[in-house]
Amino acid sequence: MSDENDTLFSKIVRGEIMADVLHQDGYVTAFRDIAPQAPVHVLIVPNEPIPTAADVEADHEPILGRMMTVARRIAEAEGIAEDGYRLIINCKEHGGQEVNHLHMHLLGGHPLGPMLTRIPPHLNETDDT
């Protein structure tokens, strides 16, 4: 396998790096984030190392659909489905993506507040600094 396909998350998918895996099927693997930002913080990743959301193709639609249904099932299993939760996919540098293997964050367990808590300075017209 080429290095660019051998991501940290591919190693978790193959069981070469330990993770708290909640679900695995032929399309996706779901495991708890190592640095949780909410009481429930799970990552749902394609087994195939699609690098970013900007790389998805029509062929990937079954995988992308599975990511959504697995998110729903894990939210139910974790007891956060009724109160609600947030699904996030960061894409590339401006999206804050750190691991170059497509992944969906499932976050919940308490109120998460506004989607963006800090307005970037270049968008904040009232900022005189």
60, 94, 103, 110: the active-site residue: 103
* In the complex, least distance from residue 125 CB atom to ligand AMP, rounded to whole angstroms: 28
Q: Is 116 in the site for ligand AMP (CB under 6 A)?
A: no
Which stretch in 32-40, 48-56, 75-83, 121-129 sits in contact with ligand AMP by CB under 6 A?
Answer: 32-40
Residues 80 and 40: beta-carbon distance below 8 Å: yes
Question: Residues 69, 75, 78, 81: is their CA dihedral positive or negative?
Answer: negative
Nearer to ligand AMP, 10 or 97 (CB): 97
- The binder of ligand AMP chosen from 23, 33, 48, 53 (CB under 6 A): 33
Cα distance between residue 105 and residue 33, in whole Å:
8
Q: Is 52 in the site for ligand AMP (CB under 6 A)?
A: no
N residues, the chain: 129
Q: Is 3 in the site for ligand AMP (CB under 6 A)?
A: no
Q: What is the side-by-side order of every strand in the sheet holding 40-46?
A: 21-24, 28-32, 40-46, 104-108, 85-88
Nearer to ligand AMP, 93 or 125 (CB): 93
Cα distance between residue 123 and residue 108, in whole Å:
28
Binding residues (CB under 6 A) for ligand AMP: these are 8, 17, 19, 31, 33-35, 43, 90, 96-99
